[in-house]
Each structure stands twice: as structure tokens, then as C-alpha cells.
Amino acid sequence: MEKDNKIIIKSFQELTNKEVYELLKLRFEVFVMEQGCHYLDPDGTDCSSIHIFIKNDDESIAACTRLFPEEEKGVWHVGRVIATSRGKGVGKMIMDATAEAAKRQGASCLRLEGQVRVIGFYEKCGYKVCSEPFDEAGIPHVKMEMKL
């Protein structure tokens, strides 16, 4: 990861066709193929989400999230979190950028449903577990939140 790679923040309407394709392709590769979760990833929420991502030098996506408001005022949901490389700081970078984007939208709290195996990562990003583990597509998850 180059230090000068930019974090890109766009509404769905601002995404190029290629960016939509690359985001959906990456999410399919990770969530459906790698993790074996058989579900419809394009769930209709993408159209009302803010998409945060980092591109590699070859224009592939190094990390991504999506961000959308929940019903509760000031609460935003973070989802579809992916970092393609481990131990290089890309995951923390995308999570920090997502929190900043949420603050600009007036968020006071962020919530996510994280896989139990990566609780430590989310805790390093400032999130706290706020539920018992539950099954999501055959993978143990917990609800987590962070006050902004």
C-alpha cells in the first residue's frame, strides 16, 4: 500500500460503472466464495449508502466499507467491511475514514455486526461489543458500536 493512495468516498450515484463492478466483485469473492456465505450481497442498501474505498495502484480495491443511516437519529451502520491485505494498516485506514465520513454526516454513533474472529480488530478501531454472539450466514457475529 502506497502512502499516497487516496481514500475515496462516494454516494452510490457518484460511483462509476467500473467502481460498482469492482466493489461487488470484491464482496462476492470474499463473502460468497472465500467465506462460503450464500446470500444476495446486492441487497438494495447500496443505493442509499455512502461507499468508502481505497484503490491499489492497479485500480483494484484494497479496502472498502459502506455506511448508511439507521432509523435511530444520529446512528449510522457500517457494513461490507473488507481489507484485501492483512497487517499493512489498510483495515484501520478504511475504518478511520469511515468514522470521519460518518461524522461529516452528523453521526454520533456507529454500529456494525462483526465476525467474532475479528473482534480484536474492531476494538482497536474503537468499537465495543454490545451483544451476545449470534449466527449470521453460518458465521458467529456480534453487534458492536462506537460513540463518535
**What digits encode the pLDDT tens for the residues 12-22?**
999 999 999 99
**C-alpha grid cell for residue 1?**
500500500
CA 107, CA 33: separation in Å to the nearest integer?
Answer: 33
CA distance 17 to 89: 28
Residue 3 — pLDDT band, cuts 50, 70, 90? very low
The sign of the CA dihedral 109, 113, 119, 121 is negative
| Burial zone of 12 (CB within 10 Å; 0-12 exposed, 13-18 middle, 19+ buried) | middle
Please list the residues that pair with 110 across neighbouring strands.
76, 146
CA atoms lying within 13 Å on the CB side of residue 22: 20
User: What gap in Å lies between CA 64 and CA 79, rounded to an integer?
Assistant: 9
Share of the chain above pLDDT 90, in %: 72
Per the confidence metrics, is the pTM higher than 0.85?
A: yes
pLDDT tens, residue by residue, 61-113: 999 999 999 999 999 999 999 998 777 889 999 999 999 999 999 999 999 99
DSSP H or E run through 8: strand 7-11
For 78, the enclosing helix (H) or strand (E) is strand 75-83
- Give the bridge partners for 109, in sequence order: 75, 147
Give yes or no for residue 26 having a pLDDT over 60.
yes
CATH superfamily name and code, 7-147: Gcn5-related N-acetyltransferase (GNAT) (3.40.630.30)
